[in-house]
Amino acid sequence: MAKNWTYKTPGIPDELFIQSDEVPGPTKEEIRVITISKARLNEGNVVVDVGCGTGGLTVEAALQVGAKGKVYAIDEDEAAIKLTNGNLEKFGVRGNVSVTRGKAPEALLSLPMADAFLIGGGGVSLRTILQAAFFKLKPNGRIVINAILLETATVAISELKALGFKDIDITHISVAKGKQINSGTMMMARNPITIVSATKP
Ligand code: SAH
């Protein structure tokens, strides 16, 4: 049972996560909700979070798959591993998550077959990470890539096509949040994110 989030639905407020200036994340609340939805998770699923950062998506995925499921969180950065572990503890989901310091794609090779891959990091290795994810996904498994850069999105689309993924979906999300100022509510734009998702045949 989650200690700090007692709801079935995703969308933990950003400020509930332990955060650090050295580590990116958490992925913003509304982006997390759509990312988890695109991953189409069920209880008992196996999920891999590549580039877990603060652990925002790791925690949300762990809550979805429950005690019978498993999340494998990977990051090359030691500070990200510590922060993710802290957030897993805070939200009471330490038990069904394995956190590993390692670099993708190499760190993916020893993992079991998965129902879904969440990809929030990868940089220049994105193509080979997608190839490794294809290899490790079960049939009908889902892949979701969160791209801040246009180049990341275009590489993801072309590689998913080349690998034979089906139902490739590209969703560009712009969120603005209301901020109270003296004269009323001003909408403040956040960075747009492109979410690329697909199904393994
Ligand atoms: N989704 C996260 C934020 C991800 S930030 C959250 O909600 O908190 C992206 C992370 O990817 C960074 O921490 C970075 O260290 C990691 N990363 C980038 N390339 C990587 C690679 N090739 N292997 C492992 N981790 C990587």
Helix H, strand E, coil C: the string for the chain is: CCCCCCCCCCCCCHHHCCCCCCCCCCCCHHHHHHHHHHHCCCCCCEEEEECCCCCHHHHHHHHHHCCCCEEEEEECCHHHHHHHHHHHHHCCCHHHEEEEECCCCHHHCCCCCEEEEEECCCHHHHHHHHHHHHHHEEEEEEEEEEECCHHHHHHHHHHHHHHCCEEEEEEEECCEEEEEECCEEEEEECCCEEEEEEECC
At residue 107 the predicted structure's pLDDT band, cuts being 50, 70 and 90, is very high
Is 60's C-beta closer than 6 angstroms to any atom of ligand 1? no
Q: How far is the CA of 22 from the centre of ligand 1 (A)?
A: 12
Is 14's C-beta closer than 6 angstroms to any atom of ligand 1? no
Atom number, ligand 1, closest to the C-alpha of residue 102: 24
Q: What is the pLDDT of residue 123?
A: 83
Q: What is the pLDDT of residue 2?
A: 59
Instruction: Using the predicted structure, report yes or no on whether residue 160 has a pLDDT greater than 60.
Output: yes
Atom number, ligand 1, closest to the C-alpha of residue 75: 25
Confirm if 97 and 71 have CB atoms less than 8 A apart. Answer: yes
Q: How far is the CA of 149 from the centre of ligand 1 (A)?
A: 14
Give me the architecture of the 14-199 domain, per CATH: 3-Layer(aba) Sandwich (3.40)
Is 51's C-beta closer than 6 angstroms to any atom of ligand 1? yes
Mean pLDDT of the chain: 97
Q: How far is the CA of 53 from the centre of ligand 1 (A)?
A: 5
Is 61's C-beta closer than 6 angstroms to any atom of ligand 1? no
Please state whether the predicted TM-score (pTM) of the whole model is above 0.95: yes
Percentage of the residues of the chain whose pLDDT score is greater than 70: 99
Q: How far is the CA of 138 from the centre of ligand 1 (A)?
A: 23
